[in-house]
Amino acid sequence: MRKKVKWGGVLLLLIVLIAYSKPTEKYFEIAKSLDIFATLFKEVNANYVDDVDPKKLIKQGIDGMLGSLDPYTDYIPEEQIENFRITTTGQYGGIGALIGVVNGKTVITHPYKNFPAYKAGIRVGDELIAVNGVSVKSKETSDVSTLLKGQPKTEVEVRLKRMGQKEEVVLKIKREKISVGNVSHYALLEKGVGYIQLEDFTPGAAKEVAEAILELKEKGATKLILDLRNNPGGLLHEAVNIVSLLMPKGVDVVSTKGKVEDWNKTYSTLNNPIDTEIPLVVLANENSASASEIVAGALQDYDRAVLIGRKTFGKGLVQTTRVLAYNAQLKVTTAKYYIPSGRCIQALDYGNRAEDGTVGKFADSLKKEFSTKAGRKVYDGGGLDPDMLISQEYLGSVTEALLVSGYLFDYASIFTNKNQAPVNLKDFTLSEQQYDQFMEWLRSQNFKYTTGMEKNTRELVESAKEERYYADMEPQLNQLKKQIDTNKANDLIRFKSEIKDLLEQQIAFHYNLVEGQAAVGLKRDEAVQQAIAVLNDPEAYKKILSPK
């Protein structure tokens, strides 16, 4: 059946490809292909040896067709429309809390401030036992989330287990309309330097950034840091409106160009700005994409901001939502976008797949040189290059394992339920004794992990056995394994600095959510500290934005 499904996807793909043919041929081929697909589907449904689910079969055919295009073109059936709406608007009816699975338990990972769960006293790390009497054990997080969501003003009962307490906690919470903000944190980091962390581009993003800028300026901010790291993007017009806050009215921000010429458009700043002169740093990394790259790219092209961090994701494609029959929708890539210098920063070339279907990046030989307004050289075809590069930090295997396994999260839950929050989280650090207690607890959990060296050694042993060298090499290989085991035994001490740092940030998040984590983490954040240094050095700032 899989082969037939794949052929169904190929036949559907013909409909898209034939659109490039002459009109008469195109319409004939569309009708022909649809007729073939319909009769093929009927024959499979009627004659295949096992019963088939028609809805599932068609969905696989559609996915096969769209999967040959790009990952952003997506079919959204009626039953998934609500989830799609929540993703694009950030709004839903519920209690206002993120959930996740940590060490086999469904736990509250983030109760949003000032929403029902937070006001009811739910904490980070609380284990969810049941919702309205329905056990959540072994349920997918999406199913548990569905149980928690509902119409505003309706009541939901949640049963929780809290670290350090024997009795379960039962709470009845009235749902509200939840609108998750785009600006997760803003603060005055030090005298004159304001910081804004923007995590999304859902409706209202520009308004939130504007409010943050104005409040920071009232508090004395004369320089700004806009943090777009790990921001996947969102609504294009919100990106344009954010640039409008910092650029003069009437300048071009982004142009979209696609096959349907009537849809091609140039978006310019429409509103009066808040401040066109305040020194500005934008932070970005490999997870900054789409609308984030429009904001960062436009500000870089106009030499309005210093871009600090790492090369961005490289998503230069625009999607439009089209309504289909039976309340379904199609999110389809309709254009590429171009920032003011004229460059498109799309990194992957979906139009030229290899024979095996893989997608490669645009070749360096095809990349073109462009210029910012001041004449600085910039390039297309692979994301935005930062003006100041922050090298990627690679965590030790033990640290990665602690993060992925959820042990840091669990211990933070234990710690915060046993210890009162410090008066000032900015000064919070774990003592040597407290770190020793963490290591002791970790040993009691039978924590295990595999290092990269262990994996490589196992592969080397297997290779030696296959090629019949093992007998000669066995003493050396055994010695290597012993040395790795010896080193591994000391990993909690060897990587103490980075483990302790992440654990302290997790504890701070448990105490006071994003604000707590920022209080501990930003002063240790290399990109943030580099941004502060540049903003406090007018000559260095000016030099970076000048042509080389």
Chain centroid, CA 92 distance in Å? 20
Is 384 within 8 Å of 374 (Cβ atoms)?
A: no
- Contact by Cβ (8 Å): 153, 175: yes
Which tokens go with 301? 């092209």
- For the chain, give the number of residues: 548
Angstrom distance (rounded) from CA 289 to CA 315: 6
Beta carbons within 8 Å of 482's beta carbon, 6+ residues apart: none
Pairwise CA distance, residues 403 & 416, whole Å: 18
Question: 3-class DSSP state for residue 271?
Answer: coil
The CA distance from 292 to 227, in Å, is 10
Pairing of strands 329-338, 317-323: antiparallel
Of 229, 194, 86, give the one whose Cα is nearest residue 148: 86
HSE (CB half, 13 Å, CA atoms) of 104? 0
Structure tokens at 155: 């009541």
Q: Kindly give, in sequence order, each residue whose CB lies less than 8 Å from that of residue 540, ignoring residues fewer than 6 positions away.
A: 533, 534
- Cβ neighbors of 324 (< 8 A, separation 6 or more) are 75, 330
What residues contact residue 72 under an 8 Å CB cut-off, 6+ apart? Answer: 315, 317, 319, 331, 333
Q: Phi and psi for 134 in degrees, rounded to 5?
A: -95, 120
- Per DSSP, the three-state class of 470 is helix
Instruction: Kindly list the catalytic residues.
Output: 290, 301, 315
